[in-house]
Structure 1
Amino acid sequence: MDNFFAARSQMALSLGFHIIFACIGMVMPFFMAVAHYIWLKTGNEVYRDITKAWSKGVAIFFATGAVSGTVLSFELGLLWPKFMEHAGPIFGMPFSLEGTAFFIEAIALGFFLYGWNRFNRWFHWFTGVVVGVSGLVSGILVVAANAWMNSPAGFDYVNGQYLNIDPIKAMFNEAWFSQALHMSIAAFASTGFAVAGIHALMILRKSHVTFHKRAFRISAVFATVAALLQPLSGDISAKDVAKRQPAKLAAMEAHFKTEEKAALILGGIPDEKEKKVNYAIEIPGALSFLAHGNFHAEVTGLDRIPEENHPPVAVTHYAFQVMVGLGTIMMLISVLYYITIWKKKSWLEKRWLLKLFVIATPMGFIAVEAGWTVTEVGRQPWIIYGVMRTVNAVTPMPGILYSFYIFTAVYISLSCIVAFLLYRQISMVGKLYDHSVEPINAI
């Protein structure tokens, strides 16, 4: 493993861990705020207990997210100094604003955790809302910085110099809205299904059913609404990528040949040497429609892009298929859930519905990881699309391989610690609430 591959692997590892913590940190405060609001309006102490339990989870993920996010910031400068030298002054604004949002989130979380029975009850609730809003804004600002890498704006590139810098245009580049929308909805869907799946499992085990069924309802609503909205944001993102990054779209779909009425490929094994896809299911004209809103539109293939600018096709294609496949499954579960609520209430007594949510527990986060793989690998070989190649941005310092090994060990250890803390938190639910058991028709 050379330094270049080690540096890319370390960034991928760091981002892969951080994005899970970030998603939960962005979304869980909203779950918490809803439960808190219901308690304040109804006086039902179950919702107070849910709020307290979830707030402890928020604290755990805030701490781990802060650590992993700080590491990512340092890695940008240490592993990619050439990139930061030129890019820092251009897209530094969203990072600065993200730091402000992070500090607001930290202060609000402190107020919320230590404000029980100390603040006015509605002001206390409001601090929890601030945690969620500032966390969501923080995530959007970071995504805006990543979007700039996919759609550079706010400067003129003349003879290797970055001139006429405009940080506002850089932050609000052409890709920021579609990426921020897609990522925000993905965070709600992935976190919602993960939380709902855990509570569904506890209901199936008949462990403090009253507590867990109330928690399940809140998280399931967030999860299912987000999963139903995600295809719409995905369509916006696909059309945006087709316009700005045709090479990425071609790699996502393993689309080797430029053609009209381009077929949408489901599955398949790309053969980059023979420029074809084996064992795929093709839907004629569907790719043209999804990319350009016209079944007869021409879709640019990899044949029109210089080979040295091709992204890794197989990795990008497989990751895209995983993301879309899992998103479709979560969408179908969501449709089934609302059919159950509105038309088939007898299904609420069936264990199989809860089991579907249990099975879906990790799906959202796997889809998020796959989506970021598409975003980052599909941009290669560019670190700033069309301007700077990734290989030209890496540090010349030796020994990156050892740093990669060390950080791998650190992140594995951090994951084990977080898993232990969450397991202990879930097991302590019984101490927060009574041991009554209700029927499982709780959904």
Structure 2
Amino acid sequence: MDDFLAARLQMAFSLGFHIVFSCIGMVMPFFMCTAHYLWLKRKKAVYLDVTKAWSKGVAIFFATGAVSGTVLSFELGLLWPKFMEHAGPIFGMPFSLEGTAFFIEAIALGFYLYGWNRFHPWFHWFTGVIVGISGLLSGILVVAANAWMNSPAGFDFVNGQYLNIDPMKAMFNEAWFSQALHMCVAAFVSTGFAVAGVHALMILKGKNVNFHRKAFQIAAIFGTVAACLQPISGDISAKDVAKRQPAKLAAMEAHFHTEKGAGLIIGGIPDTATKTVKYALEIPKALSFMATGDFNAEVKGLDQFAKKDQPPVVVVHYAFQIMVGLGMAMLGLAVIYFIALIKKKGWAESKWMLKLFVIATPMGFLALEAGWTVTEVGRQPWIIYGVMRTADAVTPMPGIAYSFYLFTAVYISLAIIVSLLLFRQITMVDKLYDSSTDKKIQ
């Protein structure tokens, strides 16, 4: 394995783990605060138990997110020094503000975890809200930095020099809103379906049914509402990518030839040698409409870009299809669930409905990983789109492969530890709570 590939794999592996930890850490505080609010308003012990159980999960993912995020910060400097040398002064503002949001989140979380019976009940609840808001802002600021890599702004690039730097323009680049919106909604979808799926499984097993039913209802509402909003944010993102990164859009759709009234490809196997897509379903003129809002508009194909400037078509296309396919599956489940809540109330707690949520447990995170693959691999071969190539940013230091093996082992170990902690937390809930009486066992 050469050092360039090892550096890319290490960054990809680190991001792949961190994005799961960070999304759960961003969203779970809102679940926790919702349960806490219901406890304060209704005074039912089950909501207090859900709140305290979820607060422990929030603490676990805050810690793991902090560790994995810190590793990523070091990796930017160690693996991509040329990138940081030039880019650091330009997009450093969102990173510094993210640090501020992180500290606020840490302080608020400390107040929340140790504030039981010490603060006024509503102030205590409010500290939990601050945890959620600051965590969400932290994620948005990091995504703004990533968006700058896809849509460089806030500087003039003259003779290899970065001049007239404007950090505000860099942070609020053309891509930040669409990426931040899509990422935040995806975080709620993935976490909502995962948490709902876990509690649905416990209901099916007949363990502490009342506790898990309340938890399931909260998580399912968050996840299904977000799933219904995700196509809207996806449409905004698609139109933005079509405008700024037409090569990425062409790779997403395996769109080899420029044409007007371009069809939307569903599935299929791209053949880069013959520049065709086999076994695909095509919706006439749909790609032109998705990209521009005009059924007859021209959409650039990969034939408009030099071979050296084209993203890896097969990887990007498959990742995009996985993301959209899983997103549509969760949207379908969301529609069924809302029908159950509004008209067919007997469906909401039926075994088949719970089984569907159990099946959907990993879908959100799989879609999340696929979406980030589209974002990052679709930008290649650029680390700063149109300005700096990834190959020119990598460290000249040898032996990166060994670093990749070490960090891979660390992240796998971290994932196993987190899984064991969560499993222990679920089993502790089963021992402490008696769903038949709605009271804690003394």
* TM norm. shorter chain > 0.5: yes
CA displacement 1:358-416 (0-9 Å, x = unmatched)? 00000000000000000000000000000000000000000000000000100110000
CA distance in 1, matches of 2:350, 2:138: 40
CA distance in 2, matches of 1:437, 1:245: 58
Contact in 1 for aligned 2:196/2:215 (Cα 8 Å): yes
> TM-score, normalised to structure 2's length?
0.98
Q: CA deviation at 1:437?
A: 8.5
Which amino acid letter does the alignment assign opposite residue 140 of structure 2?
I
Partner of 1:441: none
CA distance in 2, matches of 1:351, 1:53: 24
CA distance in 1, matches of 2:397, 2:75: 13
Which amino acid letter does the alignment assign opposite residue 41 of structure 2?
K
Contact in 2 for aligned 1:209/1:437 (Cα 8 Å): no
Q: CA deviation at 1:249?
A: 0.1
**Farther-moved stretch of structure 1 (425-434 vs 277-286):** 425-434
CA distance in 2, matches of 1:318, 1:57: 33
Partner of 1:41: 41
Q: Is the counterpart of residue 426 in structure 1 residue 426 in structure 2? A: yes
SS at match of 1:254: coil
The within-5 A match list for 1:362-401 is 362-401=362-401
SS at match of 1:268: strand
Q: Is the counterpart of residue 148 in structure 1 residue 148 in structure 2? A: yes
CA distance in 2, matches of 1:307, 1:147: 24
Contact in 1 for aligned 2:140/2:184 (Cα 8 Å): yes
Partner of 1:22: 22
Partner of 2:8: 8
Q: Is the counterpart of residue 230 in structure 1 residue 226 in structure 2? A: no
CA distance in 2, matches of 1:150, 1:61: 28
CA displacement 1:121-164 (0-9 Å, x = unmatched)? 11100000000000000000000000000000000000000000
Partner of 2:100: 100
CA distance in 2, matches of 1:161, 1:436: 69
CA distance in 1, matches of 2:437, 2:152: 57
> TM-score, normalised to structure 1's length?
0.98
Corresponding residue pairs, total:
438
The within-5 A match list for 1:311-322 is 311-322=311-322
The within-5 A match list for 1:86-125 is 86-125=86-125
Q: CA deviation at 1:273?
A: 1.1
CA distance in 1, matches of 2:285, 2:420: 49
Partner of 1:288: 288
Partner of 2:201: 201
SS at match of 1:273: coil
Q: CA deviation at 1:431?
A: 3.5
| Structure 2 alignment gaps of length 5 or more | none
Which amino acid letter does the alignment assign opposite residue 318 of structure 1?
Y
Contact in 1 for aligned 2:337/2:348 (Cα 8 Å): no
| Structure 1 alignment gaps of length 5 or more | 439-443
CA displacement 1:97-128 (0-9 Å, x = unmatched)? 00000000000001100111111111100000
Contact in 2 for aligned 1:210/1:437 (Cα 8 Å): no
CA distance in 1, matches of 2:406, 2:162: 35
SS at match of 2:236: helix
CA distance in 1, matches of 2:117, 2:127: 14
Moved over 6 A (4+): none
Q: CA deviation at 1:348?
A: 3.0
User: Structure 1 residues 338, 435: CA separation in 2 closer, same or farther (over 3 Å shift)?
Assistant: closer
SS at match of 1:379: coil
Q: CA deviation at 1:349?
A: 4.5
Contact in 2 for aligned 1:207/1:437 (Cα 8 Å): no
Q: Is the counterpart of residue 267 in structure 1 residue 267 in structure 2? A: yes
Q: CA deviation at 1:435?
A: 4.4
Q: CA deviation at 1:270?
A: 0.5
Which amino acid letter does the alignment assign opposite residue 186 of structure 2?
A
**Farther-moved stretch of structure 1 (271-280 vs 134-143):** 271-280
CA distance in 1, matches of 2:148, 2:351: 46
CA distance in 1, matches of 2:273, 2:2: 25
CA distance in 1, matches of 2:430, 2:413: 28
Partner of 1:345: 345
